[in-house]
Chain A
């Protein structure tokens, strides 16, 4: 399954966790990304965009679009679907760039340690 398909198929409460509510102990939470029922903490001057389906606040349009695609994929309008795909595309590019840097850092770390071990 490609990552894209996986993302499109995402639905809240589907990651196979039983929602056993046992107070005072770790509780299983069965949510999809960005679908957590929890408290939010908005600073007074925050510029938040809210999800029209569940009311969760997000820092920008892009994160909201991603949330919509992941959590409410079965009820998106064509416009929201297009926004999700665009946001996902953008994010993939950014992610690639990040991963390139991460790979560079791992290699650098490896050779740095190798040299230190050779010298010590």
Chain B
């Protein structure tokens, strides 16, 4: 949500700050332009990033001991599960948070609204980070789940043939609404969208039962469940266990082809967000507007087209992997087993995309939350040092290196031959190298306000 980053930056008066600090930066108008660019030329950064991912793959081929691969991914320590009290507190916090967001968004100031900042910075950036860095606490926190649990339900059975397509389309639709509507800086439309989501979710849960709805149809629960699969804290049986980050991924298989589509949509969502805030896109959008085509339609076309391209690319690599890996496993099985490795990439890219955003606006959340109904005279923003860009690049690389390991462990789990396992990964590694370079390019672009 770079568009969001740019907009919120404006909303909290960062633009004014920037203009005072350095007039040359004023027309840049983004948080990113507050920082010094990385000194190496962009093409060299991309080349190095791609080479690092390729080299990790080559180095991983030296780990051929199946027992060791399994021991690394299987390592775990059981920890005490939170008690009833902790779960009750989490539920109360979730519901109170939802009520507070709706109330502040409805009656609070239209500028510098605490609810807007809380939702986009605190929840979508910050909370999401905790789901892949620590563990998925959303099932306990999810206010809609808590409310749905109190309402009667018809417990219809969810139509299997729909699979995860409703959740996938809903995720893409939310991303589209976020890009083309003012919900990222105007609290009233945001409250309307939250209310609409509440209505759909509670109706769905009433028809299909809360368990089925949040497991199969709800997009947000699924986003956090998938990000949570990367995290070190995992549920095991009745308790919790601590594992290595990404350790749970190589033993996972997503349910069906529509689940693969959801994982790809999750990856594409953040990429799309980076893409629409580049100068390249601003140029295209200008042309589109000049041609008289509604801009919202252009966004929809790019969102849908890019998703199709990503999904097609991933499916193609699964088919190619059958050939390079010399196996008769169907392309569908290969796609479903390797899909969890994409989650590590998605988490790395999310961190790269939002960490600076979260840190620079964190003081603003605190100040605005203290006085949610009035606009404070000054909203503090944490200035980030120039080297902070490197943190984002490191996050992208770490996500990819983790994904290389997950793909390696998955291949060793799938195939009896060691060389066969290595060869089966060729198409996926090629895609990962390409995607690393794309992400680094997007990150290196100065952010411009989205047209």
A117–B48 alpha-carbon span in the complex (Å): 10
Known contacts A26-B340, A63-B416, A95-B419; A6/B66 CB under 8 A: yes
Known contacts A29-B252, A99-B62; A15/B70 CB under 8 A: yes
Q: Would B67 and A63 count as touching, CB distance under 8 A?
A: no
Query: How many residues from A make CB contacts under 8 Å with B?
Result: 57
**Cβ 8 A contact of A109, one of B55, B65, B252:** B55
Any B CB within 8 A of the CB of A16: yes
Known contacts A102-B61, A113-B47; A120/B251 CB under 8 A: no
A16–B68 alpha-carbon span in the complex (Å): 13
From A26, A40, A66, residue with most partner B Cβ within 10 Å: A26
Q: Would B252 and A99 count as touching, CB distance under 8 A?
A: no
User: Which stretch (B109-117, B321-329, B357-365) binds chain A?
Assistant: B321-329
Any A CB within 8 A of the CB of B297: no
Mind listing 17 A-B residue pairs with CB under 8 Å?
A3-B66, A9-B67, A26-B225, A26-B259, A29-B251, A29-B413, A33-B414, A34-B414, A41-B331, A48-B328, A63-B416, A91-B417, A95-B419, A98-B61, A99-B61, A110-B55, A120-B41
CB distance from B233 to the nearest CB of A (A): 16
From B163, B331, B415, residue with most partner A Cβ within 10 Å: B415
Q: Which A residues touch B68, using CB under 8 A?
A: 6
Q: Would A41 and B255 count as touching, CB distance under 8 A?
A: no
A70–B418 alpha-carbon span in the complex (Å): 11
CB distance from A42 to the nearest CB of B (A): 5
A1–B68 alpha-carbon span in the complex (Å): 9
A46–B330 alpha-carbon span in the complex (Å): 14
A109–B48 alpha-carbon span in the complex (Å): 10
Q: Encode contact with A along B383-423: 1 for CB under 8 Å, 0 otherwise.
A: 00000000000000000000000000000111111111110
Any B CB within 8 A of the CB of A74: no
CB distance from B107 to the nearest CB of A (A): 38
Q: Which A residues touch B329, using CB under 8 A?
A: 36, 38-41
Q: Which residues in B have some Cβ–Cβ distance to A below 8 Å?
A: 40-41, 44, 47-48, 51, 54-55, 58-59, 61-62, 64-68, 70, 73-74, 76, 163-164, 215-216, 222, 225-226, 229, 236-237, 251-255, 259, 322, 326-333, 337, 340, 412-422
Q: Which B residues touch A62, using CB under 8 A?
A: 417
A44–B150 alpha-carbon span in the complex (Å): 55
Q: Which A residues touch B59, using CB under 8 A?
A: 102, 106
Q: Would B61 and A39 count as touching, CB distance under 8 A?
A: no
Q: Would B251 and A116 count as touching, CB distance under 8 A?
A: no
A44–B364 alpha-carbon span in the complex (Å): 64
Q: Would A59 and B70 count as touching, CB distance under 8 A?
A: no
Q: Which A residues touch B340, using CB under 8 A?
A: 26
**Cβ 8 A contact of B216, one of A24, A109, A113:** A24
Any B CB within 8 A of the CB of A89: no
Q: Would A1 and B67 count as touching, CB distance under 8 A?
A: yes
Q: Encode contact with B along A35-60: 1 for CB under 8 Å, 0 otherwise.
A: 01011111000101000000001111
Q: Would A105 and B74 count as touching, CB distance under 8 A?
A: no
Q: Would B417 and A66 count as touching, CB distance under 8 A?
A: yes
A10–B421 alpha-carbon span in the complex (Å): 16
Q: Which A residues touch B251, using CB under 8 A?
A: 15, 17, 28-30
CB distance from A87 to the nearest CB of B (A): 8
**Cβ 8 A contact of A24, one of B61, B74, B255, B333:** B255
Residue of B nearest to A4 (CB): B65
Residue of A nearest to B237 (CB): A18
A109–B49 alpha-carbon span in the complex (Å): 12
CB distance from A36 to the nearest CB of B (A): 6
Q: Would B41 and A23 count as touching, CB distance under 8 A?
A: no
Q: Which B residues touch A105, using CB under 8 A?
A: 58
A71–B229 alpha-carbon span in the complex (Å): 27
Q: Which B residues touch A32, using CB under 8 A?
A: 413
A115–B84 alpha-carbon span in the complex (Å): 60
CB distance from A86 to the nearest CB of B (A): 14
Residue of A nearest to B327 (CB): A59
Q: Which B residues touch A67, using CB under 8 A?
A: 416
From B70, B327, B328, residue with most partner A Cβ within 10 Å: B328
Known contacts A6-B67, A33-B415, A70-B416; A63/B55 CB under 8 A: no
CB distance from A67 to the nearest CB of B (A): 4
Q: Which B residues touch A109, using CB under 8 A?
A: 51, 54-55
CB distance from B363 to the nearest CB of A (A): 37
Residue of B nearest to A7 (CB): B66
Residue of B nearest to A120 (CB): B44
Q: Would A63 and B420 count as touching, CB distance under 8 A?
A: yes
A106–B61 alpha-carbon span in the complex (Å): 12
A50–B164 alpha-carbon span in the complex (Å): 34
Q: Would A25 and B51 count as touching, CB distance under 8 A?
A: no
Known contacts A25-B222, A91-B417, A106-B58; A59/B328 CB under 8 A: yes
CB distance from A7 to the nearest CB of B (A): 6
A28–B421 alpha-carbon span in the complex (Å): 20
